Amino acid sequence: MERKNLTIVGGGSTYTLGILMSLIEEKVTFPLKSIRFYDIDSERQRFNAEAAKILLQELYPEVEEVIYTTNKEVAFTGADVLFLQIRTGGLEMREKDEQIALSHGCVGQETCGAGGMAYGLRSIGDMITLVKDIRQYAPEAWILNYTNPAAIVAEATTRVFPDDKKLINMCDMPCIIMESYADMLGCELWDLVPEYFGLNHYGWFTRILHRNGEDLTQKIKDCIINQGFSATSNFIANEPSWQETFKNMQTMLKDNPEFLPNTYLQYYLYPQKMVAKEDINNTRARQVIDGREKEMYTICKDIIDSGTAANANLESDTHGVYMIRVAESVVFNKGYRYLSIVKNNGIISNLQDDAMVEVPASLYSDGVKPYAIGEIPTFQKAMIESQLGYEKLVVDAWFEGSRQKLINALTLNRTVINVPTAIKIVDDVLAANKAYLPQFFNDNK
Ligand code: G6P
Ligand code: MN
């Protein structure tokens, strides 16, 4: 099998080593010739990459070249696949997003509501520039984007690159939820076939089938209702906040047993409860800074200092394996069926065509082929439409520098709704992000 060249954009991410472990695990099905890391923060990336070199030398010597760089030409030229996992503003700005929303009594979350708006406003510009630059140096490469908020990023990039069939927006959350279903039922994650519709971080599983055709939906619902639900995916199983989120799936299902919800719906369906449990000085960003980030730094330092990864506590994870299987599917034309974020164009027949929806699709070398969903029920349709209005208005606002559109966006978002609150949040977000958003400060918009 022909070996491929992979570039990880956002090489300094706390996810990078987990992805490498997953690449090692998947080396037979997705063999690599080279791995390149790209980041704007060279020091942060250096730790991951120096540790990666040692790890790969020991466990994946077939990789001929491992380099890290802040030079786009070096990073992108010759790449077959790029994983995009950038975070403009870093975890520090994530913390600020969460705190601003909470300080106004609203949900403070990375990708939902006011936090999602702020993060989206920062991501859009960098993502557009990145895709442009990648296309300059690697016109034929597959760009697999996991940068958040994926819904807003997908909406923005599809406006600028409407014909780019090799730019795919994905999210691991449904897979991580399904991993818990599989563990609950005693079967394999990759044997489960989801039927699902929605927007990114805003959707529902309508059915879960086993690959052998058995419909497992009712069994899963019964298990969750009777026994509860927990996160079993190794990369979040030890995180109290994720366990709390998974536990809430039981409440969500009890309160509306129609479909199996995405975890992120908790923020939209129970915003008051989500705000009440938060500590503004210890939001999720702070937990990641004090937890996963420190832990990864220590692991890297140990590997670098000892010169071996033999004692490192590292495992592959579903997040990484999922990305790699998506890459394998498009590069080697496998047609694997995964959820993907695509332009609606009639897939959900009673929803506007230009919505970026998350639905099952088969992934081939000539592109992503989504399956028709048909009509969705009134409740979910109406929820999706208000959220879609928020997403589209955030993107409009970014292009136009329109403060008013941001206020309208938050007015539509179930985590805010109240106009005076929307105004206060927007002004705080713009003030905190002035350096990233000059278009909002040009005149009196
Ligand atoms: C899931 C979502 C990602 C999100 C991540 C945040 O994996 O699918 O989109 O970025 O959770 O996790 P964290 O542990 O950083 O809160
Ligand atoms: Mn996601």
The residue-averaged pLDDT of 202-231 equals 98
Nearest to 260 by CA among 225, 212, 210, 213: 225
Atom of ligand 1 nearest to the CA of 176: 7
- pLDDT, tens digit, 9 for 90 and up, residues 303-354: 999 999 999 999 999 999 999 999 999 999 999 999 999 999 999 999 999 9
The answer to whether 43 touches 118, Cβ cutoff 8 Å, is no
Tell me the two tokens of residue 348. 């959900």
- pLDDT, tens digit, 9 for 90 and up, residues 58-89: 999 999 999 999 999 999 999 999 999 999 99
pLDDT of residue 235: 86
Give, using CA atoms, the residue closest to atom 6 of ligand 1.
110
Q: Is the pLDDT of residue 442 over 90?
A: no
Please report, for the chain, the start and end positions of each structural domain, with discontinuous segments joined by +. Answer: 4-169+287-314, 378-441
Is 159 one of the annotated binding-site residues?
A: no
Written out in words, the top-level CATH class of the domain with range 4-169+287-314 is alpha beta
Judge whether 264 counts as a catalytic residue: yes
pLDDT of residue 444: 52
pLDDT of residue 121: 98
Please list, in sequence order, all residues whose beta carbon lies within 8 angstroms of the beta carbon of residue 148, skipping any fewer than 6 positions away: 87, 110, 111, 116, 119, 123
The answer to whether 170 touches 338, Cβ cutoff 8 Å, is yes
Nearest to 350 by CA among 379, 391, 390, 370: 379
The active-site residue out of 126, 172, 317, 428 is 172
Nearest to 58 by CA among 7, 8, 30, 21: 21
Q: Is the pTM of this model over 0.90?
A: yes
Give, using CA atoms, the residue closest to atom 11 of ligand 1.
173
Provide the pLDDT confidence category of residue 1 given band limits of 50, 70 and 90.
confident
Is 319 one of the annotated binding-site residues?
A: no
Is 418 one of the annotated binding-site residues?
A: no
Q: Is the pLDDT of residue 380 over 80?
A: yes
Tell me the two tokens of residue 426. 């927007």
Strand 4-9 to 81-84 pairing = parallel
Provide the pLDDT confidence category of residue 213 given band limits of 50, 70 and 90.
very high
Residue 323 burial by CB count (10 A; 0-12/13-18/19+): exposed, middle or buried?
A: buried
Nearest to 9 by CA among 70, 60, 65, 57: 70
Measured between alpha carbons, how far is 194 from 406 in angstroms, rounded to an integer? 34
